[in-house]
Every structure is written in structure tokens, then in C-alpha cells.
Structure 1
Amino acid sequence: MVLGERMLVDGELVTAGNGRSFDNVNPATEQTIGSVPDADAADMERAIGAARRAFDTTSWSTDTAFRQHCLRQLRDALREHAEELRPMIVAEAGTPVALTAAIQLDGPIGYLDHYIDLLAGYEFEHALPDKEVYGVRTERIVRREAAGVVGAITPWNYPLYLNLCKTSAALAAGCTVVLKPAPDTPANALALGEIVREHTDIPPGVFNVVTTSDNGVAQLLATHPDVDAVTLTGSTGTGRKVMAAAAGTVKRVTLELGGKSAAVVLDDADLSSILPGMAMQICVHAGQGCATLTRLLVPRSTVDDAVEILKDGMSGIPWGDPADPGNLMGPVINAQQRDKVLWYYESARNDGQIVLGGRPTTRFERGYYVEPTLITGVGPKSPVAQDEVFGPALVVLPFDDDDDAVRIADSTIYGLSSAVYSADRERAMGIARRFRAGTVGVNGGSWFDTDAPFGGYKQSGLGREWGTEGLEEFLETKTIAIPAK
């Protein structure tokens, strides 16, 4: 079985109708690793039409046991093909191979169990107490029904994880799906489509994968009247465009967008035990994570000590060839992203001080590599402290007291994640409750798990993934009333 070459449309593996393709480029080598179909509007129309027919004419939306069966098949088939997927993800995403043992591959395959198990006990229908309404004793039933056709638009940083995160929730809810992956990481989505076709009983049209380099083709998922819901992970700018495009048909929109997450280390916390972890996490996958803690807030009197600890920690982070299992960090995804990160490095140099890194690297002849970079001396309103850089850049900011720390932490347009550290558990919890953020880690506690909802406040998005909430993003609510017997 050759994975990652053809789209899945209405149960068939197909090339683009126009015969076109585009190159899939390895960001570590800048070499083409394959070509994939470059769909046009007609291809997307066919996929949407197939999803519409499958939703309207099959029992997919109502047969919960069958959906569980198919998701189990998908999980098992992904495990069987994991060793084919592993090098593919490393090559097209530039992710360190070490991460494929966790969130980039093996973890997400296991995450499918969340929705498989949730379906076993989820009440799609429940009764309200009988009640006299306008003189009539009435039985009332509340039903949760599949929203319909879902357009899933995914990014390049954690591609298979996000493809599975979105599509497993929509499929579990009984929706049909058209998946449009990022053009930088198309092959793993195409492979997912092939696995669905060859190894599951998912009916034709229920799951479709369309690859395209044309944003106009992708936008059809947001504007098309036969698409009932759109789920996107991407930048806040892209989220605004999708939300505006979807307004014309008033479709459901779930957005998991950007972040500029802050870690607050209070004055009673132990810097030496906390900051090495901060230095490491900013370098994981070259900082290309929406919930990465990119701002470190420390008491003003400890800034110098904090910077020295961070400098030592970041200096020791192994980075380079993502295929080397000893490396924690590889390249950023493409030349445009590399140039964007370098622009922020130069901005930080002008506004403050680059303590470590901050230059175009000369370590490699090819590849979109940037240096792990530590920044201090900038104000909390500087571009590098406000914008989502999406690179390995950690900004150290001073604060004067707890109120000042919360004010600075919440001073961006984002509200995706945050963290707080204190020797006083209740003090830390008090700060956590004040943050305007969708997830908060307290004293190293990890919020990331499939039974916990994930999403953001403010311009970090709308809706939630995982948890019961992730399923319900793709369900409509219907109330039925009938005179009581």
C-alpha cells in the first residue's frame, strides 16, 4: 500500500480532476519528497456533494454502534501503519522523530479511544420532567443530533494529531466530513483517507480528503450552503476570515486559533527547578505550538537570575536534523515562516536585548532552521511580547506584584493557555482563576488530556476540542413535546 498520493472523494482514491499537483517539500532539506493532487473548485464541490449525500441518505448519523465499530477499525489500522506514517510526518512537518512517540503520531492514534468510549454512554436523547404547559400535561424530550456536513481545515504544525482530533469528533457525532489539510503537510491526510477506504467500513462520502494549494478552494468549505459546520485550527487572522466567510450561511464555526501564553513565576517559587523546563518547552518542534508558553513573567528583582538559568538551559537543547532521535528541535515549516521568525528576532534586538540566539543559523547548508532565542529588556507591548511568533523565542518580562503579573499575562488579544508557579498552592490557584485563558497549568500540572476540554478565550478561538464538549461541538439540540399519556 502506497500512502499519501491520492485524495479520497466519495469512497474513491482520485487525483485532481484538472490533473494538477503540487510539491510536498521537506523543511529540513528543502527537497521535494513527493507531489500531491492540487484540487480545484470542482473537486471540492464533488467532495462536499458526496458528504451531503452520505449524511442525508445513509444511517451514519443515527447508528451509534456502527460509528464506534468504524472508529475502532480506524484506530487499529493506524497502529498497523504507524511505521509508514512516522517518517512521512518527520519529513513533511520537520518534527523531531522523538515527538512521533507522543503527540505527533502514537498519542493521537490512542486518543481515538476517547470518542469510542464516550459513545458507549453518551445520552443522545433524554427526557425532561413532565410538566403542565399552557394547561396541557406535556412530555418533553431533548435530543442531540449530528450537525451535518463538517468542513475540517487543519494546519501544518501537528498535522496528524489535528486531523484526527477534528475528524474523530465529527465522525463520532454522526457528521460527515471533508478534510482540507495544510498544503505544507498534505501527505499524512491523504494517507488517512487511504486507510479509511482500505481498512474501515466507513461508507463512501462519509469521510473525504481534498488537498489544494489554493486558499480560494479551501474557502468553499466556509461559504458552501451544503456545509453545516466548519472547524479550523490556524492563526487568528485565518480564523477571522473563516468566521466572516461562514457568516453568509450562518454555519457553526469552531476555531482553535493563536496564542501568546504566559508562565508566571511568583516570588516564592524556586527558579532553579522551574526554568529549565521553560527553556526546553520553547524549543520543542521549534516553538511551533499554539499553546507553547512564550512569555515568562518573573519578579523584577529576579530577572537577572532567571535569564542566566534560561540561557544555560537553552544552550544545551539539542537541535538540527529532525530524523535524529537525539534532537528536540528541527526546522520551522517553510521559508516564509523562517523569515517571519527572523523578523521578530530583529525587532526584539531593536527593542531590547537578545541574550541567546537571534541570528540566521549557518549550521546547515539547507533547511529552514532558526536559532533558539532568549529575549529580555522589551516592554510587554512590544511586537515580540504581543504577537504569535510561532518560533523558538522566549521573552522574559518583569512584574511588580501579583496584580501586575495577571495584568501583563492578560494584556494580549489571546487567551489560549497560561501557567503559574508558587510555593503556596492556594495563592497559585487564586492566580489561575483570574487568568483569561482556556487552560492553566498550576505548579507544573498538565491540562492536556482527551477528557479535558481545550480551547481559548478572546481571539484564541471559539468552542472546545476533546472532553464531552468536543463531541457536542458537532451536535444540534432539538426539543420535542407531546401530550403526556
Structure 2
Amino acid sequence: MRKQDMDKRVTISGLPETPREFGFWMDGGWQGARTLYERISPAHGVPVTRIPVCTVDDLNAAVAAARRAFEDRSWAGLSGADRAGVLLRAADILRQRRDEIAYWEVLENGKPIAQARGEIDHCIACFEVGAGAARMLHGDSFNSLGDGLFGMVLREPVGVVGLITPWNFPFLILCERVPFILASGCTMVVKPSEVTSATTLILGEILAEAGLPKGVYNVVTGSGRTIGQAMAEHPDVDMLSFTGSTGVGRSVVHAAADSNFKKLGLELGGKNPIVVFADADLEDAADGAAFGISFNTGQCCVSSSRLIVDRRVADEFEALVVAKMQKIVVGDPLDEATQIGAITTDAQNATILSYIEKGKAEGAKILTGGAAADLGRGSYITPTLFTGVTRDMSIARDEIFGPVLSSFRFDTTDEAIALANDTVYGLAASVWSKNIDTALTVSRRVRAGRFWVNCIMAGGPEMPLGGFKQSGWGREAGTYGVEEYTQVKSVHVEIGKRNHWIK
């Protein structure tokens, strides 16, 4: 039995006896690598996976495989119905391997096992929605050009797509893109974060079993500085989708411009407001605020990290949020009861703790949390609420990417909207009010790509994802997410005899 097949038999409980060793995925199969990176579980401090450290030559070979698969029409030439069939089979296999994929997400990322399984369910839905979108993708026609001319607008796949994904939601963000890229007829090369690569590699095996032609989905693992930069600069990558920080996104824009002006899709940072009015259901809103900043340990680009609350109820509401935060279960992510797991990297743990210290030094007051949780091993931080925050503070302006919530107060709707928009970002926002006029006014005037009214982080892959301002370009998921990976072509068909220019 092959080593790769043996590794699939791992018991989905406890810690692995030895790290699972992967190749990288290219041209429909596993490829060996000279050098491996050993990933230590951020929650348990033991090695869990060994992942290839690929070279630029490996990337070039993967791009070449994707190019061959695109040009031979083995995928792009299929009907939408045939592409949908592959995506639906992939969804079925994901159901069968749900617990296994969730397990490796937990070990590499540190997120709670119950959360990880919920994310896989969302991923299954992404493949099902992508299958429907593959069948519905269409262009347009213009029968208004006169009797002698007929016009068509075609949507064609953009070509070879490079996909760079982050460590906070390794499989979820991957699956909010891959089915829709495939639905468009494109081929791809994926570079996951070097610390959370396992499930991206496993997807290659799943897609092959589902019937995806070889070379359509390829995975090259390694560092962003080496593989990610080379992908952004690669002249034979037609489009690049990047999810990560705004700073790195800016460097991706420069790299794309300096190479082949490739099309870009960018989902970047966020400093997202949650606006709570006095007429809201305050208990519901408090639960939403605590969830919105604590989910995935706050390592979430759409985390609601700025609480903007009506001054008339601010003290009462902050007390409700504190009570909610203090009940959140922080613990071993393999424990079913855990709601907050480990911080994914040592560097991120240090960053979050440094911002907590900055908040205190700049004069904000901690109402709860504000410290590391000592569980004997791993890096954990308790959910933290600051009050008395002003617009100029670091915790008010910077994306912390951790469970740190800053509270502001407002007196009027206009002031609440101004506070919500007082950021370079525009990824997501939430408003809580039982007054429909208030809720619609705020949702229209706050500049954010995703908006929730009396809810938070709700919705499914039918709806588009993306941001305003420095939160990115383009949209992922749903029909919009398929169209993002197409080019529009105008076709003119002359009818009858040409009216000759040369007499």
C-alpha cells in the first residue's frame, strides 16, 4: 500500500503517532520533494504534518501543467453540465471525508473541532452552488444592431488562475474559490499557507477521484516570499486570486503590473464595525458582538472588531458583552466543548498581545480578558473588550486579527455612520436595530462589501464575498464569483451580402 493511502487511515481522534507526510499535487498526482517543512500543532506542541518546500522550478512545472490542461480543452471544452457533475461528485466525497479534513484543519490551524466540521459543511455547499453556477453561466445577445448585424457577448474562462490562500481558514477560503473557478472552465495552481497546507493537498486527491482531468488543479507548497511572489510575477498565470493582508496585497498589485498585467482578485484586511442602537434586542446583539470577535479566535477578516454603541445603553450593553465573553470556552481544539482554540502562529500570538499592551498604554480600559490563557501547552488568548477607545488609538485603526474588541459610543445615526466609515477598510459591517428605517439607512451608507442586519457572519455561498476601499478588488462565490474568472468577448455576425467599401 502506498504511504499516501496508509496515511488516510489515521484515527480521527487524539494526536497522530507520527506526522503525516505529504507530497505536492501536480498534473493529477503526488510529487516528491527534496525538502519538507514540519508543522507543529499550535494547540499541542507536537509535529503533525510534513509538507514539501517547493522550488520555483516546481511552480513553473505546475503552471505548465495547468496551461496544458487549459489549452487541450479537457476541462474548458466540457459542457456546464459535465463540469457540474464533477463538482457534485466532489461534494459527495467531501461528505464522506468530512471528519478527516476537519481533523487536519484542527491540528494545523488550532481551531475547535466543532467549528472545523461546520466549515467543511459550508465547503460542501460551495461545491454544490458552484455546480449550479456552472450550468447557469451564460453571455448575452444583441438583436438591436439592425437587420444586417447580430451581436453576441460570450463569457470565456480567463485561463490559468493562481490562487494564494491564508492560514486562518485554510479549507473554507479555498472552497469559496475553487468550485467557482472550476465552474468557469479555468485551470489553477494553488499556493496555501506553508503552516496550513494539508487540506489543500487533500483536495487534489478528492477532485481527481471526482473525475477532474489531470492538470486542472495543482498545489505547490512553500513560503509566500518565494512561491507566492513567483506566482504573482509569473507571465503565464492569467489571473491571481489572493487572500491576505492589505500590505501583502499591495505588493501583489505591483508584481502583477510588472509582469503581464494579470487580472487580480483581492480579499484583504478589515476593521469591521458592529453598530448597536438603543432599540435593538440587546441580548441578541451582545451575543452577536461576542461571537463576531471571538469566532476563530478573532483571526477572521470579517471579525467585528469595532463596537459602535448608542450612548444611552452603552454601559448596559458593554456589561452584557462582558458576561457573554466570560462564558466562552477556551480550550483544547480537539475537545467538542471548546469554542475558542489556539492562536495559529507564534508571530500572530505576539502581535495580538502587543496590541493589548498598546491599548492599555494609549489609555483604553479593559473590561474583560486582556491576557494569555495558560492551558499548559499552546498559545491561547482570552476574549478581550476595551472601552474608552478613541479614533486615534492603534487598537481602533489597525487590524489586530485576534479576539480584541474596541468599544466606541455615538449619539446620532449620522455619528454612528461616520464612525463606522472611519477606516481605510470596507470588508464587512453589522447593524442591530428593530427600526427598519434605521437598519436600511445604515446598511446603505456604511461602505462595506458584506452587511448583516440583526445577525453576523450569516449567509451562504450563493451570495458574493468581497470588500470596498483597501479591503480588496472583485467578488468571490455565487454567480458573481464564477463571472470574476471569465473574460467578456463581443462577437459580431454580419447577415447577408456585405456593403462594399471599395466600389
The CA deviation at 1:470 is 0.3
1:100-249 maps to which residues of 2 (within 5 A)? 100-103=116-119, 105-123=120-138, 125-132=139-146, 137-197=148-208, 199-213=209-223, 215-248=225-258, 249=260
Indicate the residue corresponding to 2:62 in structure 1. Answer: 47
Counterpart of 1:94, as a letter, is G
Separation in structure 1 between the aligned mates of residue 245 and residue 424 of structure 2, nearest angstrom? 12
Secondary structure class of the residue paired with 2:176? helix
Indicate the residue corresponding to 2:500 in structure 1. Answer: none
Indicate the residue corresponding to 1:87 in structure 2. Answer: 103
1:278-357 maps to which residues of 2 (within 5 A)? 278-351=289-362, 352-357=364-369
1:438 to 2:454 alignment: no
Indicate the residue corresponding to 2:262 in structure 1. Answer: 251
Indicate the residue corresponding to 2:30 in structure 1. Answer: 13
CA contact (8 A) 1:23 1:33 kept: yes
CA contact (8 A) 2:292 2:457 kept: no
Separation in structure 2 between the aligned mates of residue 214 and residue 384 of structure 1, nearest angstrom? 27
Separation in structure 2 between the aligned mates of residue 443 and residue 115 of structure 1, nearest angstrom? 28
Secondary structure class of the residue paired with 1:27? coil
> How many corresponding residue pairs?
476
The CA deviation at 1:130 is 4.0
Query: Which of 79, 83, 91 does residue 67 from structure 1 map onto?
Result: 83
Counterpart of 2:211, as a letter, is D
Indicate the residue corresponding to 2:372 in structure 1. Answer: 360
Separation in structure 1 between the aligned mates of residue 401 and residue 280 of structure 2, nearest angstrom? 28
- TM-score normalised by structure 2 residue count: 0.92
Counterpart of 2:231, as a letter, is L
Stretches of structure 1 lacking an aligned partner (at least 5 in a row): none
Indicate the residue corresponding to 2:381 in structure 1. Answer: 370
Separation in structure 2 between the aligned mates of residue 364 and residue 129 of structure 1, nearest angstrom? 69
Separation in structure 1 between the aligned mates of residue 75 and residue 366 of structure 2, nearest angstrom? 55
The CA deviation at 1:263 is 0.8
CA contact (8 A) 1:151 1:227 kept: yes
Separation in structure 1 between the aligned mates of residue 35 and residue 457 of structure 2, nearest angstrom? 44
Separation in structure 1 between the aligned mates of residue 468 and residue 39 of structure 2, nearest angstrom? 34
The CA deviation at 1:336 is 0.2
- TM-score normalised by structure 1 residue count: 0.95
The CA deviation at 1:273 is 3.5
CA contact (8 A) 1:22 1:213 kept: no
Separation in structure 2 between the aligned mates of residue 180 and residue 461 of structure 1, nearest angstrom? 19
Separation in structure 1 between the aligned mates of residue 137 and residue 232 of structure 2, nearest angstrom? 29
Separation in structure 1 between the aligned mates of residue 334 and residue 302 of structure 2, nearest angstrom? 24
The CA deviation at 1:214 is 5.2
CA pair 474-259 structure 1, distance change in 2 beyond 3 A: same
CA pair 67-334 structure 1, distance change in 2 beyond 3 A: same
CA contact (8 A) 1:183 1:213 kept: yes
Counterpart of 2:365, as a letter, is Q
CA pair 430-216 structure 1, distance change in 2 beyond 3 A: same
Moved segments of 4+, more than 6 Å: none
The CA deviation at 1:29 is 1.5
The CA deviation at 1:447 is 4.9
CA contact (8 A) 1:40 1:214 kept: no
1:375-454 maps to which residues of 2 (within 5 A)? 375-444=386-455, 447-454=458-465
Separation in structure 1 between the aligned mates of residue 257 and residue 476 of structure 2, nearest angstrom? 22
Secondary structure class of the residue paired with 1:226? coil
CA contact (8 A) 1:167 1:179 kept: no
